[in-house]
Structures are given as C-alpha cells and as structure tokens.
Amino acid sequence: MSLYSEKVMDHFRHPRNVGIIEDADGVGEVGNAKCGDIMKMYIKVQDGILVDVKFETFGCGSAIASSSMATEMIKGQPISEALKLTNKAVTEALGGLPAYKLHCSVLAEQAVQAAILDYYKRNNIPYDPDEFKCALCAHEHDHTADDGDEA
Amino acid sequence: MFVYADHAATTKILPCALEAYNQTAWAFYGNPSSLHTEGQRAKEVLEKSRGEIAAVLNADPREIYFTSGGSEADNQAILSAAYAGAKKGKRKLISTAIEHHAVLHTLEKLQKEGFEVVLLPVGHEGIVKAEDVRDAIDENTALVSVMLANNEIGTLQPVEEIGKICREKGVLFHTDAVQAVGHIPVDVQSIGCDYLALSAHKFGGPKGVGVLYAKRGAPLSVLIAGGAQERGKRAGTEDLPAIAAMAAALKASVADMGTSSALLKKLQTKLIFGLSRIPHSSLNGDRERRLPGNVSFCFEGCEGEALLLYLDDEGICASSGSACTSGSLDPSHVLLAIGRVHDVAHGSLRLTLGPENTEADVDYLLEKIPEVVEKVRSFSPVWRDLREGKRQFIL
C-alpha cells in the first residue's frame, strides 16, 4: 500500500533523465522553495527536436515523479509537440495523483514551457505568448516579494 | 531491516494492554450503566481503570473523564473554560504558537465567536517563557492553554511555573499532555492545572480512547450529549475494553519509565550527534529540554516528503513537517514558530524513538539517513544553487 500509484513510485524511485545539461539550449525553472517545490528543466534542441531533456527537482514524491514523467514524454519530440504537453497528460501517464498533489503535474507542464520559452528567447525566435501562458504565470509566481527576503 | 521511529504519531499496543483489551471485551461485555450483574461487573472494571489512571496522575478518580482521545479532551477543556469565562465577561484566551491543532483549531473557532486569542512566541528553542504568560494575563483572561511537550520537536514547556502563575492570577489552566503522559512523570498537583488531556495510543494503549482530567470545581460543559455516563459530562456507552487497556498501558509505561527513559536519552544523544554531522543540518528545538525519544532535524536543500518516501523504502518509518506531508503549501507551524524559514522547514525530519528501539536501530538510521539526504540533494536545484553560491546557506 502506498499513497501513490505504482507508476508514480517507479518514477520516484528511478527518476528518468535526472541531472543537468551543461550546454543546454534552454533552461526553465518554476515554483519556489517557499512553497516547497522547484522544478528546473534543461533542453537540448536540434532541428526543432528536443534531442535531450534533463531535470532537477526540489519537492515531494509526486513532484519528482511528475518531472521525470514529463521529460520522458517530451524527449525526442518536436518542440511543437512538447508544447502540447498538459498536466492532465502527465497525471494520466502516472496512473493518477492524489487531488492535493495535482499542482505538481502543473509545475511539470510549466517547467517544460519555461525551458522552451527560454530557448526561443535566447535565439530570438518569435513566439505566440498565448502558447506560454502557463510558463509566464509561473514565472511571475517565482518572484514574490518575500521570496528574496528569506534566501 | 525495519525501524519504527514514529512513536509520536502512534505506538504499537503493549502486550499487557492487548491482553486487558481482549479479556475485558470478552469477560466484561456488560454495559456499565446496566443495573444487572453483568453491567455492574463492567462498572467495576470501569471504576478500577479510572482509579488506576487517577493514581498515576495524582488525581482524584472523580476528576478523570474518559473521552475518544486527546483531541476531544482538548476541545472539551478549552470550550468549557472559554464559555464559562464568557459568562463572567472574560473573553481572552492565551496559548502558544506551537500547540497541536486540536488546541489551535478550537481557539480559532472561539476567535470567530468573538474571543480574543493570544498565541505567545516560543523563541528558537521552542519553549514559551512563563513570564510572557504572566505578562499576557489580564482581568479579561478566561484560560491559559500550554502543552506539556510539543509533538513535533519534543520541547518541554514550563508548565509548573505557568500553573503557579495561573493559580496566583485565578485563571484556568489547561495543558495538552498527549505527548508527555507515559513518557515523563506527569503529576496534576505539581503542574497545578485545571485541565489535562491525554491519549492512550501514545503510550502503548489502543487508538480512540483518552482522558480529560478536570479538577474538581473546574467548569465542564458537555460536547456529546445523550446520557449520564462520565458524571453526565460525556455521553455514550464507555469503550470499556479500550479504557481497561489504556489503564494497563499507562501502569506499564510508568513502571518502566526510569529504564526506558535512560535508554531513550542515550539513543537520542547518539542520533542527534550522528545527524549533526550531515552538512547544513540543524536540530529543531532545545537540545536538553525535550522528550527523551524526540529527534527533529532540518536538512537544507532537500524536501521532507521525498526523504520520508526514500526512508520508507529502506524500512524506516519517520515523519516530516514539510508542506507536502501536511497537504497544504505551508510547512509545519511549529517549525515556522521557532524561526525556520519556509525553504528550510520543508526539509524537516522527525524521528521519535520508543522503548523497543535498540542501538542497532540507531546505527541503521545513522547509516541510511545521510545516504538518503545526499540522494535527495543530488537532484535538488536548491542544493545546486546553494553549493554554487547562487543562494546563501541558512543552516
């Protein structure tokens, strides 16, 4: 018996694509330590394809599993496909999450978008802000006034 | 290996308590309120248990009220004192920032009803100052409620001093002794409290049963109406097997207290010393004035729930005050009250040892916990930022 599904526990125990990419083409960080969850996503892009994805997560079991699952779902995919990744898809692939943990899968979706947005910005690639609503709001959430005081 | 280090959450029932439970359930099945022989035999067990528990607490048996546990006892004590105070125009309630939610949520409810609630600070050591209690008391104060020992960080509060102050000032005093009873000596006369709450499953008794000690003459209103049980103060047919088991567990715990407490202190010292060697870690709460089995730490750069789950995989049962384990975004109010910032409070680990833990258990904890902390840190972006100097270490 466990709080989480077997799939969640598998990704938690054996997270896929853990680590950093030193020469990443895009890096996205969402969440904040104050709330207890930070996800950092690194992507390597070749010809519009995410040839490599890595993540680091400070957070609970479902946050770690969600980020691991998200990297697995987008690795090798074209950017256009990765942008379609939703928290719902991550949750379903994990065999469900407890209701109060759903925000962890939202963070995974935001982290993917934030990394791609960073890639677009670095390369001056025009983008449709509507496609990054999730990442943009996560970005604002990052810089709450009292966050800096505690660091 | 399997190490249960979560005794503050609950304990395994003691063999003597289980035996008392079974024997009572089978051989004393009568309703203590019934007039016939079976009922009166059950009544005898009820009153014998009451007497035994009263003796341990140095109370009069008439001051012992059986409840469904510590939470109910806390609720009844606080509500009784508050409503009695309100009748005299006293609507101020004084407590601390580190109380159990059974106390804090009851106070919040009263606050919504118009009571003034003052939660005193506890400093970095997690101990309220008796002088602060004295200063907070005024002519409008109906009740002071201060726990005997904290459930998360184990710190012992100066309840005897506070009890003395409350008597001087003529203010009712309640203490939540759920974590203390059965583990350290608890004497209602020397504490000088009007109310005390305890829970059986924290000292080897069954779940779902506890006691409210209410001093003779202390106001007591009814939470559960519908019968004359417990001198008309708590309706419902008594859970006699659980009550008999609670009495057995309490007697056994108190009889073994000297030896088990010495052993626990030894294990605690070793565990604290060992865990302190983990870089950027810190003990929560005062080093000396704490329950003998409690070890609570914060590890910077790692999150508590992940720690617990990996430890569980290693056969270690522990607990944490991280947000994720509480189901909210805020970490434990106790850790915040002792000045831990959110980022650090999320990385807390509570180990609470019990009499059956051995030195080998502690060695195993000291082998596995540093490994698991390192593992969680290895993929933590917070830890990376700390190491790379992009974020400043707090611990």
Tell whether B65 is covered by a domain.
yes
Same domain, B97 and B210: yes
Same domain, B130 and B274: no
Tell whether B327 is covered by a domain.
yes
Tell whether B173 is covered by a domain.
yes
Give the one of B303, B382, B392 whose C-beta lies nearest to A60's C-beta.
B303
Same domain, B262 and B159: no
Same domain, B236 and B343: no
Q: What values do phi and psi take at B304, rounded to 5?
A: -65, -40
Provide mean pLDDT across the span B261-266. Answer: 97
Same domain, B378 and B268: yes
pLDDT: which is higher, A146 or A7: A7
B281-283 and B294-299 beta bridge pairing = antiparallel
Percent of chain A at pLDDT > 90 equals: 74
pLDDT at B57 over 50: yes
pLDDT in the model for residue A130: 83
Same domain, B194 and B148: yes
Same domain, B142 and B250: yes
pLDDT in the model for residue B28: 98
CB contact under 8 A, B305 and A60: yes
* pLDDT band at residue A148 under the 50/70/90 scheme: very low
Six token digits for residue B89? 């125009």
pLDDT at B67 over 70: yes
Same domain, B176 and B280: no
* pLDDT band at residue A33 under the 50/70/90 scheme: confident
Same domain, B229 and B315: no
Three-state secondary structure of B237-288: CCCHHHHHHHHHHHHHHHHCHHHHHHHHHHHHHHHHHHHHCCCCEEECCCCC
Tell whether B2 is covered by a domain.
no
Same domain, B165 and B28: yes
| Nearest Cα residue in chain B from A65 | B306
> Please, are residues B380 and A57 in contact by the beta-carbon 8 Å criterion?
yes
pLDDT at B15 over 80: yes
Judge residue B89's burial from the number of C-beta atoms within 10 Å of its C-beta, 0-12 exposed, 13-18 middle, 19 or more buried: exposed
Tell whether B1 is covered by a domain.
no
- CATH classification at residue B201: 3.40.640.10
pLDDT in the model for residue B359: 98
| A35 catalytic residue (yes or no) | yes
- CATH classification at residue B379: 3.90.1150.10
pLDDT, one tens digit per residue, over B140-177 is 999 999 999 999 999 999 999 999 999 999 999 999 99
CB contact under 8 A, A19 and B322: no
Strands of the sheet containing B281-283, edge to edge, are B281-283, B294-299, B348-352
Provide mean pLDDT across the span B242-265. Answer: 97
pLDDT at B38 over 90: yes
**Which residue, B204, B227, B254, sits at the end of a domain?**
B254
Among A2, A10, A60, the residue to mutate for chain B (most B Cβ within 10 A) = A60
Six token digits for residue B346? 């999320």
The b-or-e profile of B119-148 (16+ CB within 10 A means b, else e) is: bbebeebbbbbbebbbeebeeebbbbbbbb
A129 Cβ contact list (under 8 Å, min separation 6)? A136
Give the one of B309, B323, B391 whose C-beta lies nearest to A35's C-beta.
B323
pLDDT in the model for residue A151: 27
Percent of chain B at pLDDT > 90 equals: 97
Tell whether B394 is covered by a domain.
no
Mean pLDDT of chain B: 97
Range of the domain at B264: 257-387
- Domain tally for chain B? 2
* pLDDT band at residue A131 under the 50/70/90 scheme: confident
Is B301 near chain A, with CB under 8 Å? Answer: yes
| Nearest Cα residue in chain A from B342 | A34
* pLDDT band at residue A134 under the 50/70/90 scheme: low
First vs last C-alpha separation in chain A = 38
**Which residue, B225, B254, B283, sits at the end of a domain?**
B254
pLDDT at A145 over 70: no
> Please, are residues A8 and A65 in contact by the beta-carbon 8 Å criterion?
yes
Q: What values do phi and psi take at A54, rounded to 5?
A: -135, 160
Six token digits for residue B167? 């008597």
**Which residue, B194, B224, B254, sits at the end of a domain?**
B254
| A134 catalytic residue (yes or no) | no
Tell whether B20 is covered by a domain.
yes
Overall size of chain A counted in residues: 151
Same domain, B247 and B329: no
B172-176 and B195-199 beta bridge pairing = parallel
Tell whether B10 is covered by a domain.
no
d(CA B104, CA B120): 12
Same domain, B124 and B216: yes
Q: What angle do helix axes A61-74 and B304-313 make, rounded to 10 degrees?
A: 90
Q: What values do phi and psi take at B366, rounded to 5?
A: -75, -15
pLDDT in the model for residue A1: 53
Provide mean pLDDT across the span B312-330. Answer: 82
Provide mean pLDDT across the span B247-274. Answer: 97
Six token digits for residue A1? 């018996």
pLDDT in the model for residue B284: 98
